[in-house]
Amino acid sequence: LFAISAVQDGKVVLNRAYGKANRDKDIDATTNTRFSIGSISKEFTGYMAGKQVREGHYRWQDKITDIFAKKGIKMSMQGDFRNRTCTLEDALTHRTGIKMYDWLLTDDREISRAEWVTKFLPLFQEEYEMRSYFYYNNWFYTLVGYLVELFGGKSFEEQVKETVFDPLGMTQTCFVSDKEFDEFDDKEFAQPYNEGQDRKTLYPVPRKAMKTISMHNPARSRVYSG
């Protein structure tokens, strides 16, 4: 299941879709089908942070606590060494060692990024020592998305749209709102599937699991692209 476009010398030479947008409902994928990009949205977060680094707001090697302090925000994490050394680069390269708690990604409670950084992050336990292990963690991309908001003066979603989607003419790529998600159009949005242990059986991802809380858009977002 995928759609593909190939461009050569500024001209589209291939534009086709393959497979089913929804196997259970026998809906074919089209070149207008939008697919959930999941964690690929982290690329947008890294790009937006890089843009602000180039603008001089902060540096890759600046400590996270110091960057927030520039905006008068006090934040902390488990472990004194982590608080004294954790940099923006550490946050984006999964070297913090903080436990993931990914089950919270689809929690029904809607909290703000500011509330998560100041009230919830300090409660997250250490899984590994700082920089001792590559330990994938969605939550620190949400943290960086909040930094992008603080220094950009607009929501993360607005900045990505204005800086990436609009200039590149990505008219089929968007952050799906709660209303659009609740009125999910099976002919417009592809149904994601998980692969079974036998590597053959596909299981549809439940709607609740697909509806990642919007606070988490910088990490594992509701970006759909066609």
What DSSP character marks residue 97? -
Q: What φ, ψ does residue 53 adopt, rounded to 5°? A: -65, -45
| Non-local CB neighbours of 204 within 8 Å, separated by 6+ positions | 23, 24, 191, 192, 193
Q: Which of 26, 1, 37 is nearest to 16 (CA)?
A: 1
pLDDT range class, residue 211, cuts 50, 70, 90: low
Q: What is the mean pLDDT of the chain?
A: 88
Instruction: Give the residue with greater pLDDT, 200 vs 131.
Output: 131
Instruction: Give the residue with greater pLDDT, 111 vs 23.
Output: 23
pLDDT at position 85: 95
Please write the tens of the pLDDT for every residue from 163-194.
999 999 888 888 877 677 777 677 788 888 88
pLDDT at position 42: 94
pLDDT range class, residue 107, cuts 50, 70, 90: low
**Cα first-last separation, the chain:** 12
DSSP H or E run through 175: strand 174-175
Query: Which SS3 state, helix, strand or coil, does residue 27 take?
Result: strand
Please write the tens of the pLDDT for every residue from 46-94.
999 999 999 999 999 999 999 999 999 999 999 999 999 999 999 999 9
Residue 221 reports pLDDT greater than 80: no
- Least confident among 4-8, 49-53, 96-100, 159-163: 4-8
Residue 206 reports pLDDT greater than 80: no
pLDDT at position 105: 63
Nearest-5° angle of CA 140, CA 216, CA 182?
170
pLDDT range class, residue 106, cuts 50, 70, 90: low
CB 223 within 8 A of CB 173: yes
Residue 208 reports pLDDT greater than 90: no
Instruction: Give the residue with greater pLDDT, 154 vs 219.
Output: 154
Pairing mode of beta strands 202-204, 223-225: unpaired
pLDDT range class, residue 9, cuts 50, 70, 90: very high
pLDDT at position 35: 85
pLDDT at position 202: 87
DSSP H or E run through 156: helix 156-160
Write down the pTM of the prediction: 0.87
Please write the tens of the pLDDT for every residue from 131-163.
999 999 999 999 999 999 999 999 999 999 999
CB 33 within 8 A of CB 59: no
Residue 203: strand pairing partners: 194
